[in-house]
Each structure stands twice: as C-alpha cells, then as structure tokens.
C-alpha cells in the first residue's frame, strides 16, 4: 500500500514533466522548463550537502561549472569528430567530471563540517573562479566557450535542433537523477550522512569515520551537480565563467533554502519558484533581485524550514481533519497581507520608474501625482492594520487545529 503510493508519486512526477510542454508550448515556456530542469538537479545535489549532510557550501557552483565546461568541450570534440557518440550522454560527461573535481577537493575539505568546511568551500570557489579567468585556453576568459549540439549523431532521427527536444533529454536525466538522489537517502551511506550531520562525535563511536561519510555525500553531490552542469551546457550550448563563480553558488543556496532543506522535495519546490520568479518577474521589473533578496530574508526569518516546511506544518491538521478551520483565518490575514506586499511593491516601483505612468496589476499609477502616492499608502497602511488585527485570530485557530485534545496524560 505504502509502496504503491510512493510509486504513484514517482509516476506522477514523470508524467507532469512529460506533458508540461503540451500545455505550455511557447518558446519562452520551454526555455523556462529547461532552466527548471537544470535548477532542480542542481538544487537537489546541493541539499545532499547542506540538508542531509550538514555541510554549508559556498562553492557548489565549482562542480556545476566544471561539469558544464567539460560538457561543452565534449560538444566541441563531437563537432570536430574527435569522439563520436550521441549528445544524449553529455550530462553524464559533466557528472563524471563533477565527481572527479569533488573527489579531489573533498579529499581535504571534508575533514571538518561547520565553519571550516564553509570557509574552504568559499576559498576554493573563489580560487577556481579567479583561475578560470586566467586560464583562457580552457575556460575562454570572460566570453566563455561555446559548442553546437546538432553535430552529434541523431538519436532515432532526432537532431536536437529545437529546445523542446532538449527538454525531453533533460526530463530523462532529471528523473534519473532525482530517483538516484532519493535512493541515496535510503542507503546506509545516506542515513549515516544524517547521523554525522546531527552528531559527528557519536557517529565515530558506532564505527563510522565522520570524514569518510561526509566525503561520500560530497562526491555524490559533485556528481549530480556535474550532471546539472552538463544539462546547462546542452541547453545553452555555451558556458562562461559565471557558472562556477560565487553568484551561481549563492543562487543554489537560495533555492535549496527557500524550498526547505529538511525535505527531499524542498529543493525541487525552491528551484521551481526561483526559476519562475527569475524568468517572469524579470520581465516586469528590473528590481526583481531586490524583491528576491527581501523574500529570502523573510524566509530565513519566518520560515526557517522553507516553503516545503510550511506545507508540511499542516500535516497534523490535515490528518486530524481540522484543516478546514484554518481556511477562513488564513483568508482574513492572507488577503490583507497580500495587499500590504503589493502596495509596498507599488510604492517602490513608483519611486523607481522613469516613465510618467506605471502599469501595475491593472492599475495605472502616476508617480507625479501626490494623490496616487497617498492612495497606495492608505491601502498599504490599512491592510497592515487589518493584518495586525486578524493575526491573533489566526494564531488561535492554528493552536486549536493543532492541539491534540488531552486523553488523560501523555
């Protein structure tokens, strides 16, 4: 029964990924799906380090980028017929080199977790990012290097000219990578990674070298980051130094954290949300990075377990069937909260916009008019007041929905 349920989740995951382009078939949406696919594998691999192994890395892009560079180099080799195989296997090339890089760096960086590990990862990340600008022959300097995926032998007639064809390649690899990363958590090595995260000292007294346990997780994370890098190379057909520098390392940390570190699906949620925000919001506002920063800080402050954690918080109420009691209080606080957020954004955009009018979710606002400022301001403050008023009620509803009525002690 449990097994059947689990299997159906996996099949659902695969089916959703496969049919997505049938419903959203524009070039833009396919390109967003491709980005999501890459981000999902990358963020899941990051969670192997931080969420499951307790290793905070500021340099995970190294394995992503290194795998990606080798993948592009392989594309070039295919183009010049140095090697001959289907580009379907390019992500695997990325994975192998991500793994090799992780074996090398992990051999000295996994000695300790905590701050020491974080600092080594930062140092190595900066070192390699800076070196990549020096070794122009391999990394191509600021311009990066590019290949062409269409030169490889066709795969059953598919020549990979269109992005949607790459999307199906990506789905194949994302599914495989997700399955294997999940299975890893169900093995002794994966469980011991949790144990070492919780208590490295005790792990040593049940026969395990904490360092070796970390090393194994680290290598696995490198492998999957490399696969993500290979997918990146296949999708964009070029790669620059940016893929292995601190910006990319930071972004994957953001994704995993916003999604929720403690849950396997957390990074998937985070990857989807951030990719969507990145692609959609950046069209509407050049301030989206500012909003992203605010959202990230608010998540760290108020949802330490991320979005997935927020969803899982409702498990008790769901099981007990009291979740219905929460609907109205959520609505009463949520709607004004949304209004507060929107008016804040409107004010920020009004102060930033250079044109005379600002089109904002169907309203036309004129930054030159004091009345518009006042109007938005009043809506914002009014809603803030409503949030403060309704918050205690939400809190009470939450408590009553989640408290198990006492059945004589416990």
Partner 1 sequence: MLEIFIFATLNGLVTGLLLFMLASGLTLIFSMMGVLNFAHASFYMLGAYFAYSVSLYFGFWMGLIFAPLIVGVLGAVVERYGLRRVHQSGHVAELVFTFGLAFLIEEAVQFFWGPDTKNYQAPDILDFPLFTLFGQEFSAYRGFMIGISLSIFITLYHILTRSRIGIIIQAAITHPNTVANLGHNVPLIFMGVFGVGTALAGLAGVIAGPVLTTFPGMSIALGSIVFVIVVIGGLGSLAGAFIASLLIGLLQSYAIASDVGMPELLNLLGLEFERSHPLNDLWTLNLPRIAPILPFLLLVLVLIFRPTGLLGKREE
Partner 2 sequence: MAILTLNNVQKNFGETAIIRGVSLDIEEGEKHAIIGPNGAGKSTLFHLISGLYKVSAGSITFKESEIQDKAPYEISRLGLARSFQVTNIFQRMNVFENIRCALFWSKGYRYSFWHLLGRQKELNEQAMHVLEQIGLTDKALFPSGELAYAQQRALELGIAIASGAELIMLDEPAAGMSHSEAETSVQLIHKITEGKTLIMVEHDMNIVFNVADRISVLVYGEVIATDSPENIRSNASVQEAYLGEVATSA
Q: Which residues bind partner 1 (CB under 8 A)?
A: 50, 54, 56, 58, 108, 111-112, 114-116, 118-120, 122-124, 126-127, 130-131, 134-138, 246, 250, 253-254, 257, 287, 289-290, 292-294, 296-297, 300-301, 304, 348, 352
Among candidates 242, 253, 216, which has minimal Cα distance to 99? 216
Out of partner 1, partner 2, none, which partner does residue 296 contact, by CB within 5 to 8 A per kind? partner 1
Compute the least distance from the CB of residue 145 to partner 2, in Å: 33
Which of 313, 337 has the CB closer to partner 2? 313
Residue 86: both structure tokens together = 């289907």
Closer residue to partner 2, CB minimum distance, 213 or 253: 213
Q: Which does 409 bind (CB under 5 to 8 A by kind): partner 2, partner 1, none?
A: none
From the list partner 2, partner 1, none, pick the one residue 14 interacts with, judged by a Cβ distance below 5 to 8 Å according to partner type: none
CB of residue 220 vs partner 2: minimum separation in angstroms? 7
CB of 302 to partner 2, least distance (A): 21
Please report where in the chains the tokens 């090339």 appear, as a residue.
93
For residue 333, give every residue at least 6 positions away whose Cβ sits within 8 Å of its Cβ, in sequence order, or none.
Answer: 387, 390, 391, 393, 394
**CB under 8 Å to 284, separation ≥6 — which residues?**
none
Residues at the interface with partner 2 (CB under 8 A): 183-184, 186-192, 194-195, 197-199, 201-209, 212-213, 216, 220
Question: Which CB sits closer to partner 2, 210 or 346?
Answer: 210
- Residue 195, contacted partner among partner 2, partner 1, none, CB below 5-8 A by kind: partner 2
Q: CB of residue 210 vs partner 2: minimum separation in angstroms?
A: 8
CA pair distance 374, 312, nearest whole angstrom: 40
Q: Tokens 């990325």 correspond to what residue?
A: 94
Partner touching 79 among partner 2, partner 1, none, CB below 5 to 8 Å by kind? none
Give the nearest distance from C-beta 3 to partner 2 in angstroms. 9
Q: How far apart are CA 348 and CA 351, in angstroms?
A: 5
Report, in Å, the least distance between residue 362 CB and partner 1.
24
Q: Name the minimum Å distance from CB 213 to partner 2.
A: 7
Q: Which does 320 bind (CB under 5 to 8 A by kind): partner 2, partner 1, none?
A: none
Considering only CA atoms, which of 103, 82, 361 is closest in space to residue 218? 103
Q: Are 20 and 36 in contact (CB under 8 A)?
A: no
Nearer to partner 1, 323 or 353 (CB): 353
Half-sphere exposure of 148 (CA within 13 A, CB side): 8
Residues constituting the chain = 410
Paired sense of beta strands 358-360 and 238-239, if any: unpaired
Give least dist CB 207 to partner 2, A.
Answer: 3
| Beta strands at 363-365 and 145-146: parallel, antiparallel or unpaired | unpaired
Residue 207 contact, options partner 1, partner 2, none, Cβ 5-8 Å cut-off depending on partner type: partner 2
Pick the closest to residue 348 from 260, 296, 286 (CA basis). Answer: 286
Coil/strand/helix, residue 154: coil
Diameter of the chain measured on Cα atoms: 77
Considering beta carbons, is residue 16 or 133 the nearer one to partner 1? 133
What whole-number distance in Å separates Cα of residue 398 and Cα of residue 317? 9
Nearest CB to partner 1, comparing residues 114 and 154: 114
Which residue number, 25 or 198, has a Cβ lying nearer to partner 2? 198
Instruction: List the single partner that 208 binds among partner 1, partner 2, none, CB under 5 to 8 Å by kind.
Output: partner 2
Please identify, using beta-carbon distances, which residue of 55 and 92 lies nearer to partner 1.
Answer: 55
The token pair at 296 is 């990230």
Cβ-count burial of 214 within 10 angstroms (0-12 exposed, 13-18 middle, 19+ buried)?
buried
Q: For residues 185 and 327, what is the distance between their CA atoms, to the nearest angstrom?
A: 35
98 binds, among partner 2, partner 1, none (CB under 5 to 8 A by kind): none
Residue 124 or 227: the one with the smaller Cβ distance to partner 2 is 227
CB 169 within 8 A of CB 227: no
- Provide, rounded to whole angstroms, the least separation between the CB of residue 282 and partner 1: 13
Q: How far is the CB of 300 from partner 1 (least distance, A)?
A: 5
């Amino acid at each position: 029964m449990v097994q059947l349920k689990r299997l159906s989740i996996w099949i659902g995951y695969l089916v959703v990924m496969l049919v997505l382009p049938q419903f959203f078939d524009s070039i833009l949406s396919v390109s967003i799906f491709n980005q999501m696919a890459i981000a999902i594998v990358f963020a899941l691999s990051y969670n192997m380090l931080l969420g499951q192994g307790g290793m905070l890395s500021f340099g995970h892009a190294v394995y992503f980028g290194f795998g990606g560079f080798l993948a592009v180099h392989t594309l070039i080799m295919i183009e010049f017929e140095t090697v001959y195989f289907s580009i379907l296997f390019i992500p695997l090339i990325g994975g192998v080199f991500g793994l090799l890089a992780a074996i090398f760096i992990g051999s000295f960086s996994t000695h300790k977790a905590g701050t020491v590990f974080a600092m080594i990862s930062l140092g190595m990340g900066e070192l390699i990012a800076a070196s990549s600008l020096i070794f122009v022959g391999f990394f191509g300097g600021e311009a990066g290097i590019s290949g062409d995926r269409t030169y490889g032998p066709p795969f059953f007639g598919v020549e990979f000219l269109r992005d949607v064809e790459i999307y199906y390649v990506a789905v194949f690899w994302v599914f495989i990578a997700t399955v294997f990363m999940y299975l890893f958590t169900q093995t002794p090595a994966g469980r011991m990674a949790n144990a070492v995260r919780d208590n490295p000292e005790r792990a040593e007294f049940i026969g395990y070298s904490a360092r070796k346990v970390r090393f194994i997780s680290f290598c696995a994370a490198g492998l999957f980051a490399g696969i993500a890098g290979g997918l990146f190379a296949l999708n964009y057909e070029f790669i620059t130094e940016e893929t292995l520098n601190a910006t990319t390392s930071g972004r994957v940390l953001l994704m995993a954290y916003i999604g929720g570190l403690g849950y396997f699906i957390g990074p998937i949620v985070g990857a989807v949300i951030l990719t969507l925000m990145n692609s959609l919001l950046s069209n509407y506002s050049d301030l989206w990075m500012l909003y992203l920063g605010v959202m990230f800080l608010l998540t760290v402050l108020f949802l330490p377990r991320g979005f997935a954690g927020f969803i899982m918080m409702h498990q008790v109420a769901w099981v007990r069937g009291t979740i219905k009691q929460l609907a109205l209080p959520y609505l009463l606080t949520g709607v004004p909260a949304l209004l507060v957020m929107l008016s804040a954004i409107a004010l920020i955009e009004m102060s930033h916009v250079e044109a005379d009018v600002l089109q904002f979710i169907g309203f036309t606002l004129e930054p030159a008019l004091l009345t518009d400022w006042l109007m938005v301001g009043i809506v914002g403050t009014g809603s803030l007041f409503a949030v403060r008023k309704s918050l205690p009620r939400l809190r009470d509803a939450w408590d009553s929905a989640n408290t198990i009525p006492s059945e004589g002690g416990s």
